[in-house]
Structure 1
Amino acid sequence: MEDNSMCIGIDIGYGFTKVHSDYKNDSFPTAVSAVSRDREFSYMTPINVNGNDFIVGEDAETYGRVMDTRTSSFVASDPWMAVLTYALNSHSFRNGTIVLGLPPGMYSQQYGQAIRQAMKNAAVHINGMEMQYRINGNVKIIPQGAGIYFSHIKDNPEDAYKNVAVVDCGHETLDFALFSKNKYIESVTGSEQLGISVAIDEIRSEFYKRYHFQIKPMAARTALIKGNDEINHLNKGYPFDIKKCLAGYAMQVSAAIDRFIESLPVTPDVAIVGGGPAEIIKKHIATVHNITAVADPMMANAVGYWYYGTRTSVAEG
């Protein structure tokens, strides 16, 4: 499918990559593995980037040898390009506008231009077919929390000219941003190593102390989302007090959010939270200040990127 008007928002997170376009939204694990060409790919389709083969998503998790995506060198690398290609291909994207996000601490016009150049220069093939994405100037790169902001504005246009504090709850970090009168205030950002992975590690550690065997991160995450007083493993329930286990983490997150809001140069009219763990944050953590979870928190950045792309006609760079 080729569509000159197509816009796609892609949120490549440490845990999951979320994708929203004019046609649909979806997500997949941000997992990528390098594979050798002489392997028999009977159940997976490798993506070749600059002569190197990669598999992405659930195939990579099944195959193993998953690369560490938490390093600063991952962005714009060949494995990152494989993840991006997987996202684009899943939406049959060939031509149009791509909107991506960078963590506030990494965001700059210069870095954004380097990413666009890497995308433009990459030679990408799937099943021997060259994937030609006519990106040129049609790649917009904005701060990650901006996606949550624009997702909120899409549903609440009356807040566009207010002061809006944004909390982006990710896998590794809590990121903070401020928008004032529809503008991103670059000098007012913050980040804390208090993403949901901290809570997951706490649960796994406490479970191991009690039952003397390890559970997978996904089992801990599922228990956290459901909020049940037990963790299921191999069809057996193990009693476990999630709230008690998370007491210390909850206090840290609450303090970080309140500290950021109180440090702002202006009093926000609205404070919002997004990201996959946002509902968990709202469920387990009490803050002094009222924080509103945006609609569909997990997809919020991707939806916001898409919305931003549809509303801006002049390409960056």
Structure 2
Amino acid sequence: MKVLGLDIGFGHTKVVSDGVKMKFPTMIAYAPNDPYAELDVVNIAGMSYVVGRDARFSQFGIEIPTVAELVKYAPVFLRYVTGILGEFDVVVTGLPPNCKAYVPVLKQNLESVASGTQFEILPQGVGILYDVMDKISDEVIIVDIGYNTVDCVVAKEHQGVWKKSQVVTFEGFGVMKCVELMRDILPQSLEFFRNRSASRLLDAFERGYVMLDGEKVALDSFKAEAQRKYGEILMAKIKQELKGDYRAMAQVVIAGGGAYYIDPKQFGSGVYVPQEPEFSQARGYYKCGKEE
């Protein structure tokens, strides 16, 4: 049985399958009508798209600002993956916990390009639980730090069965919040970059520098300060929303791409960060699919 764990995030799409791991920017654009363009094209319902880095600088880019667009264009990302890896018997993916109403639509959309495939759609954060459940205690809070959102899952294990007691999503508290904090403390000499949107600054944030008049300008000190503030803000938000559940839990798991940008010590002593945390969700989806 061939299984795919597919984590379509607002920043990157992560893929895990049998001996395969890959990620690419969650970006699409209409394919240009240029016979000389060397691009991998995805064709769906009479439309042609380019995906990932090929779409990054396209003048025909399609914005994906909300879950509605993510669900609409999910078949394009799946078809892009199957074009590389082949078809799958089972595909497990997920949506933010507060987007349960989109589950039937997402499933129908995905089935439209893979009718012979079995699909399972989990709340984001549950995939991480599948990934780490053999490494954690029997009471845990999963903190999944994504591009736009942070998903928290409070779960407890009893007699070999894990049950969720609370699942919440924090809109606007993902990695982009940290980028915004860095942008706000940039000095006057970098005024040009202070006027850019946070999404356009994301690459510079991840690299740790910008190019200005042909010279590399390090952002390390501004990035470190932003990360410290971001950790404090996120910690306060989690405690506010989860209340006593946070203090009562034996362990906290921090995963998702945003795990690279916080100091685990800010979240207490019993914190576990899985290896390559940005792939934790997709790994868990894959493990879930193998159990089907």
1:51 lines up with 2:67 in the alignment: no
Match of 2:111 in 1: 120
SS in 2 for 1:237: strand
Please, which of 98, 104, 111 is the counterpart of residue 97 of structure 2? Answer: 104
Q: Which deviations, in whole Å up to 9, do the C-alpha atoms of 1:7-64 show, x marking residues without a partner?
A: 110000010000000121010000101235x432531122111111111001001324
User: Partner residue of 1:128?
Assistant: none
Matches within 5 A, 1:57-68: 57-68=52-63
Distance 1:59 1:26 in 2: 16
- The number of aligned residues is 280
3-state SS of the aligned residue for 1:167?
strand
SS in 2 for 1:63: coil
Question: What letter corresponds to residue 116 of structure 1 in structure 2?
Answer: K
Structure 2 residue aligned with 1:145, among 122, 125, 145?
125
Deviation at 1:306, TM superposition (A): 0.1
State the partner residue of 2:182: 203
Alignment check: 8 A CA contact 1:15 1:171 kept: yes
Query: 2:259 matched to which residue of 1?
Result: 278
Q: Is the 8 A contact 1:107 1:142 kept in 2?
A: no
Superposed displacement of residue 305, structure 1:
0.3
TM-superposition CA deviations, 1:92-142 (whole Å, max 9, x none): 2x131100011011135xx423322222234xxxxxxxxx5621xx10110
Aligned amino acid, residue 120 of structure 1: E
Tell me, yes or no, if structure 1 residue 212 matches structure 2 residue 172. no
Give, in whole Å, the separation in 2 of the partners of 1:149 and 1:239: 34
Q: How far, CA to CA, are the matches of 1:91 and 1:69 in structure 2? A: 24
Which region of structure 1 is more displaced relative to structure 2, 174-183 or 271-280?
174-183
Which amino acid counterpart does residue 80 of structure 2 have in structure 1? Y
User: 1:200 offset after TM fit, Å?
Assistant: 1.2
Query: Which residue type is aligned with residue 296 of structure 1?
Result: E
Counterpart residue identity of residue 250, structure 1: G
Distance in 1 (alpha carbons) for counterparts of 2:92 and 2:260: 25
Deviation at 1:169, TM superposition (A): 0.3
CA contact (8 A) 2:257 2:277 kept: yes
CA distance in 1, matches of 2:170, 2:219: 34
Percent of residue pairs identical:
22
* Structure 2 residue aligned with 1:126: none
- When residues 74 and 86 of structure 1 are mapped into structure 2, their CA distance, relative to the original with a 3 A threshold, is same
TM-score, with structure 2 as normaliser: 0.85
Taking a change above 3 Å as real, the CA distance of residues 29 and 175 of structure 1, as seen in their structure-2 partners, is same
Check if 1:74 corresponds to 2:69. yes
> Structure 2 unaligned runs (5+)?
none
* 1:32 matches 2:28: yes
TM-score (norm 1): 0.79
Query: Secondary structure of the residue that 2:92 maps to in structure 1?
Result: strand
Provide the rounded CA distance (Å) in 1 between the counterparts of 2:96 and 2:48: 27
Change (3 A) 1:301 1:188: closer
Match of 1:226 in 2: none
Q: Deviations over 1:200-228 (max 9, x none)?
A: 122234336342222742011222xxxxx
